[in-house]
Structure 1
Amino acid sequence: MYWKSLLATAVAVASTAEAATTLRFSCSQLVVERLDPLVNPGVTPSPHLHQVVGGNAFNSTMDYTVHDMPTTATCTSCTPIEDFSNYWTAVLFFRARNGTFRRVSTFGNELGFTAATGGQTVYYLTTGSGKVTAFKPGFRMTVGDPSFRTAAQIRKYPMLTFTCLQSSMTRSGATTDFPKGACPAGIMASVRFPTCWNGKDLDSPDHQSHTAYPQGGSCPSTHPVSVPQVFYETYWDTRPFNNKAEWPADGSQPFVWSFGDKSGYGHHADYVFGWKGDALQRAMDTNCNSDLFSNKINCPTLKVQTIEQANKCTQKVQVREDLDSWLTTLPGGMPVN
């Protein structure tokens, strides 16, 4: 019964007679640093800290016309070895009662990916209801808004959530703000990107307008092309910080995003497509999937590596700063609000 529930969570679509693609795989941590080639291209360092997985071509500027990821990268921290995409989010920090900050690490998804050195679980999902077009070289997008601080604002992005893990099996009780109590098995942050594309723009000024969520189960006429749903699950190891004697004196939750958000409503994520050749389209066309019992990708058309091999793909930090000590301010001096 549990595995059926997990599959329903992963696919999040109604029952269908047509085949669907449910690719689920591990991406180990590539690098943690202040770079953001989408929102702050060429800026070193970027204003706030990010945790990044995927191909090691990640850089401060990623113009695909001169920076072709599949040919520039020499490895990927994801298990499909033809996936040189980059996936990144902000970084979680614990703010202690005395006002100092400690970076929270990611850890391998305990549902099959414990061998991973942090990072994320990545999904590519389809409903199986018609043709799904893989992203094109140069495609990129973001979801969420780091300026949001209210429940009313986050209604624009209801598919950005947090789950307070009571155990590794927890898959209920998701909220759009940070959990209020201690989470015995950590906090899972989930991100689902839009699945409709306008069919022409690889990006847009706000990095979002060229994409849209379905309306009434179908893509709107302004964004008629169905694309795979990119879905991240990031496990944050908040377990070392569950002692409430170290939490703020007023009992409020102690976690804050690296851009200063203590509400959780500013949750956001970035994606740059970097699959080699037509690998992702082949996977979509053949309805590849991942076995939720063995955690193996059932997709003969894709080449895969082990998690242990993926762990070896890391990137040298370009922005050097102390990220592993107690800090008096967030990296970049970001204010908490």
Structure 2
Amino acid sequence: MVKNKASALSLAVSALSLAGSADAFWRLPCRGRTGVGRLDPIMDPGKVSDHVHVVHGGSNFGIDNTPQDLVDSDCTSCAVTQDKSAYWTPPLYFLHANGTAEMVEQVGGMLAYYLLYTDAANPNGKITAFPEGFQMIAGDKRQRSFAYPIPDNDKSTWTADQKTQNALSQKALGFNCLNYAANPEASLYRHFLPDKEYLDANCLDGIRLELMFPSCWNGKDVDSDDHKSHVAFPDLVMSGSCPEGFGTKLPSLFFETIWNTYAFKGVDGQFVLSQGDPTGYGYHGDFQMGWDSSEFLQSAVDTCTNASGQIEDCPLFNIQTEAQEQQCSFKEVSALMGENPLVCDSGLPLDVPIQSGPSYATNYPVVLPGDKTQGGAASSTKTSAQITSSASASAVVPTLSYTPGTSSITDKYGGGILLANTASSYVQTESASAVQSESTSTVTAAASLSEAVTDADGNIIATSWYTTGNQVMEMMIEQVDVTVTATAVETANAHARRHIGKEHRRVRGHPRR
């Protein structure tokens, strides 16, 4: 036998002991759905919206409610009874080849994360609760293209153009391919909806739609004309430094919803968001503050800093059962009486055109239930700028091979955010134990976390965060030289391990948490 030097990856993993609110969070389940319909009291107050939303939260949600109205709700479809905020996003539909559209099954409601990131420019600063009357949106329903590298290049290499608010808002979308038999992809890895062929082949447990909201506030306005100018993203989307004029740090909201796309495996058709978007680039969401009071939420921000992220670990929260969450709903809106947003036999409800881009999507007429003729066609005439709603209007989206990220344990609904400090929130890894299992070689023990953190040579090449059980875990990936005892199998696998080492470029000055 010959002794050799080979490149390998050592993984140092440790539970974090989080002081104060630094990088703490809680994960708010909203297992019930208060309703589904063409309602959006932020963007379309007092009138029927041009596309369907799924809504979670307080029962006083409606066609023109305010955040203050939500506080007086009789119930909430979320687990914490003191939170009657409203959280809504467009659902995913499957458009059959014959034109019939049906809403894809939503699995487990919604998870709303309250991530307590401080401003990187002021790491000891305070996180301020959402003020009463606060509301905001994230994403752009008419977006149909992405002008930045796919996948994201490392955050340390982002140019000024890649840190504009427009760029950051587009990187705040995630489409996580779920396969619980494999290690999960990291959050915000993919910013577009994969095509059906990809979903059928790879996403056995559906697709998780992810949305990050801005967390930097101007400190004075509870809303703005476009419902987003009073807030801004930090320069790394989830974390980082706030731009000038937005120095008040809010809780970082992150939405997750899961859709059972695998139920349509082998069925002819395509997936499309309710605003006629088959690309996913136009995914978006809305939030209205409806906690009992801003003072209560501030107490939660200051107190509920257990690293587990579990709402049960916060003594302030009153928690209701999942059955109680599912009993809460908003009142039916008269303007939408008789409309079925779950199934429509003539395209998306109602007559929403499919617009694949890459040009910015156009506006289209809003059709009311009474405007439909007996045959199902709209009485209004479509403009030439509109694209006919049909399964043949397929979007052209990039293809990323399915390569799982670092592993995490998920609950029965597949929740479990992966927070990474790398640009793409994605790290391809292979553990030292996995390398060892390929052969009969003896591999030296991996460095401990304390050794990795104090590594004078700066060999930490990636750092990843994830939740597992009741802990938040940090994974630091270090490239080291180890001594192995070569065998025939080992020799055959040497090239593969050298390739792994090449996949990870050292980034000096990368922040370690």
The alpha carbon displacement at 1:137 in A equals 1.0
Following the alignment from structure 2 to structure 1, what is the Cα–Cα distance between the partners of residues 307 and 71?
23
Following the alignment from structure 1 to structure 2, what is the Cα–Cα distance between the partners of residues 26 and 169?
24
Following the alignment from structure 1 to structure 2, what is the Cα–Cα distance between the partners of residues 24 and 170?
21
Taking structure 2 as the reference length, the TM-score comes to 0.56
Q: Which moved more, 1:270-279 or 1:98-107?
A: 98-107
The alpha carbon displacement at 1:59 in A equals 1.3
Match of 1:333 in 2: 351
| Residue-pair matches, total | 304
Match for 1:60 among 37, 60, 63?
63
- Aligned residues of 1:49 and 1:331 also touching (Cα < 8 A): yes
Q: Which moved more, 1:189-198 or 1:276-285?
A: 276-285
Amino acid at match of 1:184: L
| Paired residue secondary structure (2:75) | coil
Point out where structure 2 has 5 or more consecutive residues left out of the alignment: 1-12, 149-165, 356-513
Amino acid at match of 1:236: W
Q: Assess, with a 3 A threshold, how the Cα gap between structure 1 residues 282 and 268 changes in structure 2: closer, same or farther.
A: same
Match of 1:127 in 2: 117
The alpha carbon displacement at 1:151 in A equals 1.6
The alpha carbon displacement at 1:326 in A equals 4.8
Match of 1:267 in 2: 283
In the TM superposition, 1:176-325 aligns within 5 A as: 176-180=191-195, 181=198, 182=200, 183-215=203-235, 217-243=240-266, 246-248=267-269, 254-277=270-293, 278-289=295-306, 291=308, 295-318=310-333, 319-320=336-337, 321-325=339-343
Match of 2:103 in 1: 103
Match of 1:41 in 2: 45
In the TM superposition, 1:128-143 aligns within 5 A as: 129=123, 130-143=125-138
| Paired residue secondary structure (1:313) | coil
The alpha carbon displacement at 1:175 in A equals 1.1
Amino acid at match of 1:237: N
Match of 2:156 in 1: none
Larger helix share, 1 or 2: 2
The alpha carbon displacement at 1:62 in A equals 2.2
- Aligned residues of 1:161 and 1:190 also touching (Cα < 8 A): yes
Following the alignment from structure 2 to structure 1, what is the Cα–Cα distance between the partners of residues 332 and 94?
22
Q: Deviations over 1:86-115 (max 9, x none)?
A: 00001111112233211112111xxxxxxx
Following the alignment from structure 1 to structure 2, what is the Cα–Cα distance between the partners of residues 224 and 239?
43
Match of 2:92 in 1: 92
Q: Deviations over 1:1-23 (max 9, x none)?
A: xxx89x99xxxxxx975543311
The alpha carbon displacement at 1:297 in A equals 2.5
Point out where structure 1 has 5 or more consecutive residues left out of the alignment: 9-14, 109-118, 249-253
Q: Deviations over 1:53-73 (max 9, x none)?
A: 000010111234xx43212x0
- Aligned residues of 1:141 and 1:207 also touching (Cα < 8 A): yes
Match of 1:251 in 2: none
- Aligned residues of 1:184 and 1:242 also touching (Cα < 8 A): no
Q: Give the number of the structure whose alpha-carbon radius of gyration is greater.
A: 2
The alpha carbon displacement at 1:290 in A equals 6.8
In percent, how many aligned pairs have the same letter? 38
The alpha carbon displacement at 1:25 in A equals 2.0
Amino acid at match of 2:114: Y
